[in-house]
Structure 1
Amino acid sequence: MGMLLLALVFLSIALQIITRFVLRDPLFWTEEAARYLYVWMVAIGSADVVRSRSHITMDVFYMLLPVRLRLALQLVFHVAIFGCLAVLAWYGTLGTMRAHSVMSVALRVPESLLYGALPVGAVLMALRVAFIFTQDVVALIRGEVEDTGEAA
């Protein structure tokens, strides 16, 4: 899905460049379409990064801890992140509902299509965090924790 959105962003921007500089008659909607697509790409991509545990981390001191303590601490982080994402999804939904009556300038679609990326992305990330939390709890209970030299 992310690659499709990236391709659509690229096509929208390329279309804007061609119509503006080659045809000298720019399309009015391409910049706004690219912005909407980009926001959705980031929201969906963030959930994928959570799934693969690829977010940037500062783990210098974290890596000095014993392996089981690192995993236990990671569980605390998962709960805190889940809570933040739940708040983000809640208030993002409220903002999206408020923005529904406002129309975008160029595309003439409800602004809620743009704002909706926030709660959707937050819910997708929260689901992924909950799944990872479950995996880590099972690993901790079963003792399937090994020191790979990487952050949990």
Structure 2
Amino acid sequence: MDAIDRNIVNGLQGGFPLCPRPFAVAAQALKLDEEELITRLTRMVAEDVLSRFGPLYHSERLGGAMTLAAMAVPEADFDRVCAIVNNFPEVSQNYERDHTLNMWFVVSAERPERVGQVLDQIAQLTGLTVHDMPKRREFFIDLKLEA
């Protein structure tokens, strides 16, 4: 990432314009042109600098469900398991942690029963236990990560 990429990532956290030409409005605020912003975002997603670029929906308010899951993945098998987990479109985030449970990810689905199906499929495909940790209470933290 160069300085412009960092500025894009830092500048777009916390909101995106809802209007007919949102990329043009966002680009103007970043002192870029619309085409450059779109090109850079597309490249960052293609190169896995960003895992995705798009809206986050409150799946439960839309009738769906979400959960946090964790796995203890042998270090030698981490990349293989990571590829399996990330292959599910319901997985929105996947992080490696320095802990016995070293892989943590979020599963969001349109239907509540799909969350359990995804976790079961991940367990079957990886041969590992998937720990389901559904939220009991929601807190809003306006987290911004500086790039």
- TM more than 0.5: no
Identify, as 1 or 2, the structure richer in strand.
2
TM superposition score category, shorter chain reference: under 0.3
TM-score by length of 2: 0.20
TM-score by length of 1: 0.20
Q: Which has the larger radius of gyration?
A: 1
Identify, as 1 or 2, the structure richer in helix.
1
